[in-house]
Amino acid sequence: MRAGQDAPVDQMGTHQLADRTADKKTQQFQILVAAVISSQTRDSVTAAAMMRLHALPGGLTIGNLFRQELTIHQLAEILKPVGFYRQKAKHLKAIAEKLSGCPFNGNVPGTLDELLKLPGVGPKIALLVLWVAFGKGEEGFIVDTNVRRVCCRLGWAPDGSDPNQVRQSLETWLPRSLWPDISFLFVGFGQQVCKPIAPQCERCQVNGEFDWQTLSQYDSTIALYRDMNGRFAGVSGKFL
């Protein structure tokens, strides 16, 4: 399971999709693009779309997305079949245009407030960019659909909570230093085991083991466990 680090997010998550030979500023923009594309889209589809964008003449840069020769329709066709690819094409063109001018001058902003001002960027995308592109993993707890589902099933958030409610709930008690690792852990766990349909409860190492409603009230009882490579692979004494 998570100890194997073989979930889609491990191999094709946003942290894997930038061109590592590019300069830092370009990589930060590519991470922003990947985060926007990833919303409501499978990791494999996001990764394939990013490969097509990297194949653009001159690569995936702010200037290349901003240039008039690349129309919104053409960009949408490159993104297809990404979820909401037409809307995301509009957002990406608008983001490239905004970042090209003042006050950004070709730089992806490194604050939550500034990122939230960009078209199509909500809290989840902004927090993901801050973590992956800037190493700021303690700005807020990142909640996608997998994290929301796992947290609700464990009792870490009330049933029916939306992502923002889950984030706000966990931020009141979960130690800030654990936010990025718990979030990443739960994304893969939700992809592989705690699925939306036909969850594999028989594979869940914590199924029925704890009273999670009680556990979540005490910071001192939360402990992450690392695998032999130092990566987080479990929570509260159980490997996920």
Question: What are the tens digits of pLDDT across the range 147-200?
Answer: 999 998 888 888 899 999 999 999 998 899 999 999 999 999 999 999 999 988
Domain boundaries in the chain? 2-134, 145-239
Fold of 2-134: Endonuclease III; domain 1 (1.10.340)
Fold of 145-239: Endonuclease Iii, domain 2 (1.10.1670)
Q: How far apart are CA 107 and CA 99, in angstroms?
A: 6
CB atoms within 10 A of CB 155: 15
Q: How far apart are CA 33 and CA 27, in angstroms?
A: 10
**Partner residues linked to 234 by β-bridges:** 225, 239
pLDDT given for residue 184 in this prediction: 94
Output the six-digit token pair for 212.
Answer: 């999670």
Q: Of 101, 110, 133, which Cα lies nearest the Cα of 22?
A: 133
Residue scoring higher pLDDT (227 or 87): 87
Mean pLDDT value of segment 21-38: 98
Tell me the backbone φ, ψ of residue 217, rounded to 5 degrees: -85, -10
In the block, residue with structure tokens 């394939």: 48
pLDDT given for residue 202 in this prediction: 85
| Per-residue pLDDT reduced to its tens digit, 46-94 | 999 999 999 999 999 999 999 889 999 999 999 999 999 999 999 999 9
pLDDT given for residue 222 in this prediction: 42
Residue scoring higher pLDDT (201 or 213): 201
Residues 6+ apart with CB under 8 A from 135: none
Q: How far apart are CA 36 and CA 31, in angstroms?
A: 9
CA atoms within 13 A on the CB side of 109: 20
pLDDT given for residue 4 in this prediction: 67
Catalytic site residue from 24, 25, 124, 195: 124
Is 88 annotated in the active site?
no
Residues 35 and 18 sit within 8 Å (Cβ to Cβ): no
pLDDT given for residue 93 in this prediction: 97
Give the neighbor-by-neighbor strand order of the sheet with 224-226. 224-226, 232-235, 238-239
pLDDT given for residue 18 in this prediction: 97
Mean pLDDT value of segment 121-136: 97
pLDDT given for residue 5 in this prediction: 67
